[in-house]
Amino acid sequence: MVPGAAEPVPPLGGGVTLDPARPLQLRHARGPLTLAVVSIAWLRSQGEDTHSALSERHLCAEEIAHAATLPLAKRRIEWLAGRLAIKHGVCAYRQRSAGFSMRTADVRVRAVENGVRAGKPVVNVPVEVGLSHSADFAIAACGPREIGIDLERSRAMSPLLEDLLAFDTDSRGAHGGGRLQRMPVPLRWACKEAVLKHFGVGLRVDSREVVLTGWRADGRFSWTASPELRRRIPDAAGPHFESWAREIDGYALAVVWRQEP
């Protein structure tokens, strides 16, 4: 495990912090989900010897070879952070859910290569994973069913994007409530991206295909899929999703996961 890791503790949102000086943080959450946060900032502060040692310990030979093909150090560090987040998240989730211990190096991560879900991370373990990077952090979520997660650093956005995300209207023409209208723009963006990433489509689908309809004080948010998104992904029409979003330590975090049957 990366130095400085803490024992996983519940719940979603309540225990998640984004501390750039903390290499790894693990949190169990309702869902059941496990969240893993890796500090890209901490990795940047370390030398190549540390990066190599982490790679040797946690990556398989194919992953080490792939990392060597990435030409920019910035990209290599972000890629390593994402792999570490997924691998630690999977191992912690498996330990929690099944009492099953496994090595991070035995968790193989790959991206879907073709189709509408190209780029979505998958692993060689019977779990689902989601991944997001933003500025100083990579965050992964692991659970038994499909997951979408998005992390966005809170910042000023372009006027065009702010106009697009200024408010949502549901299919009946009613606004999604006063609290939703006060939702910060980066958090609104994260919510829409988490929904799209749940289905594995990400930025290949216009974020306007997801309409936010509510946001509760406990962080839960509601949304509906546009007719076009339901045509592309029929499953998007169902009510069987849980969604949560909140601002944490200067970032907007949103998670979407499928409810238990």
By C-alpha distance, which of 94, 87, 134, 91 is closest to 110?
A: 87
Q: Cβ distance 129 to 83 under 8 Å?
A: no
Tokens matching residue 149: 């997660």
Q: How far apart are CA 96 and CA 32, in angstroms?
A: 10
Mean pLDDT of the chain: 86
| Residue 209 φ/ψ, nearest 5 degrees | -75, -10
Q: Indicate the pTM of the whole model.
A: 0.88
| pLDDT for residue 24 is more than 50 | yes
Q: How many residues does the chain have?
A: 261
Determine if the peptide bond prior to 8 is cis (ω within 30°): no
Q: What sign does the dihedral 29-32-38-39 (CA atoms) show? A: negative
pLDDT band at 226 (very low <50, low <70, confident <90, very high): confident
| pLDDT bucket at 153, cuts 50 / 70 / 90 | very high
- The reply to whether CATH 3.40.1190.20 applies to domain 151-258 is no
Range 24-144: architecture per CATH: Alpha-Beta Complex (3.90)
> 48-58 vs 61-68: helix axis angle to the nearest 10?
150
State the pLDDT at residue 203: 67
| Domain 24-144 shares a fold with domain 151-258 | yes
**Structure token digits, residue 249:** 């330590």
Higher-pLDDT residue of 200 and 78 is 78
pLDDT at 22 exceeding the cut of 90 = yes
Q: What is the pLDDT of residues 67-123, one digit of tens each?
A: 999 999 999 999 999 999 999 999 999 999 888 899 999 999 998 888 777 888 999
CA 160 to centroid of chain Cα atoms: 25
Average pLDDT over residues 244-251: 94
User: Residue 134, class by beta-carbon neighbours within 10 Å (0-12 exposed, 13-18 middle, 19+ buried)?
Assistant: buried
> Reduced to 3 states, what is the DSSP secondary structure of residue 76?
helix
| 212 to 17, 167, 225: CA distances (angstroms) | 25, 8, 9
Structural domain boundaries of the chain? 24-144, 151-258
∠ at Cα 200 (91, 5), nearest 5°? 25
